[in-house]
Amino acid sequence: MSILVVGSIAYDSVETPFGKRDNALGGSTLYFSSAASLFAPVHVVGVIGDDFNPADIDFLKQRRVNFDGMVEAAGKTFRWGGVYHKNMNMRDTLFTDLNVFETFDPVLPDHYKSLDYLFLANIDPDLQLKVLDQMHKPKAVILDTMNFWISGKKESLTRVIQRTDILIINDEELIEYTGTENFLEGLRHITALGPKVVVIKRGMYGAVLYNAGRFFFAPAYPLPEVKDPTGAGDTFAGGFIGYLAEQDNLDEITLRRALVYGSTTASFTVEQFSMDRLKEIGRFEVDNRWNEFKEMMQF
């Protein structure tokens, strides 16, 4: 089955204790696509500026990623700059230049509207709603959000959540949105709004799957070196949703396996800057590491 993703396309300037990269390919849709396309065809909705180099996404086109929904606007491509702290769990945003993203109004090509798996990456919930309104009847709507929208656009965000099947969130965002520090209470609160499934991302501590009262836990892969955590969350979503779309199934065991695929693809992302590592790998490397996960979780 095919996936539709809407989100950002960006050039990132990133500094970590391991180095510095200026104007590297970034943005949630591209990170997502580079992982999800290892499993299923991906269709991108987004906007680029006239400074965007088309050759940068050649590797994605070779992986069944369709860019019919990507439009070019006059002006510069979205740019983000940040510095990661020594422990890599914290970062400071240096700048966020929305540029062409500021006036972005997503319009779906007709052949996008009947796709089955819709991933709403972290963008303005009003844009997410515009995409939702154009879709016919997706099998699964998966939403990723960020604290920025929880504090700034809670009402719109809630309308998106009400139409979401699987919500991807982190602990802090769950607390901020629901107003409770109690994890189970927060999950009850958020699932009452609509999502049956909640995925809680915990960075180096892995991820939690909550599906109708049942829990499943996946660790993060113990890496010798994390070079650049940028895109970890989006490629986690890419592996997770990619596998669900490939299997075209949302039952408990498929969701569990998908969660471990999410951890797997995210673990590759952070091994190098930008999408460098994801460009190199194929399904073989992913499956090998997935099996390593299995070994690390059996008792």
Interaction site with its own copies (CB under 8 A): 86-88, 181-185, 202, 204-206, 208, 214-217, 219, 222-225, 253, 256-257, 259-260, 294, 296-299
Q: Which is nearer to its own copies, 87 or 133 (CB)?
A: 87
Q: Which of 9, 8, 10 is CA-nearest to residue 79?
A: 10
Q: Which is nearer to its own copies, 70 or 209 (CB)?
A: 209
Dihedrals phi, psi of 274, to nearest 5 degrees: 50, -140
* Minimum distance from residue 101 beta carbon to its own copies (Å): 34
* Minimum distance from residue 125 beta carbon to its own copies (Å): 27
Q: Which is nearer to its own copies, 95 or 299 (CB)?
A: 299
The secondary structure of 261-274 as a DSSP string is: HHHHHHHHHTTSST
* Minimum distance from residue 252 beta carbon to its own copies (Å): 9
* Minimum distance from residue 29 beta carbon to its own copies (Å): 28
User: 19, 273 in Cβ contact below 8 A?
Assistant: yes
Residues for the chain: how many in total? 299
Q: Which is nearer to its own copies, 222 or 282 (CB)?
A: 222
Residue 1 tokens read as 């089955």
Q: Which is nearer to its own copies, 134 or 180 (CB)?
A: 180
* Minimum distance from residue 164 beta carbon to its own copies (Å): 22
In whole angstroms, give the CA distance from residue 31 to residue 227.
16
Q: Which of 201, 230, 200 is CA-nearest to residue 93?
A: 230
Dihedrals phi, psi of 37, to nearest 5 degrees: -70, -10
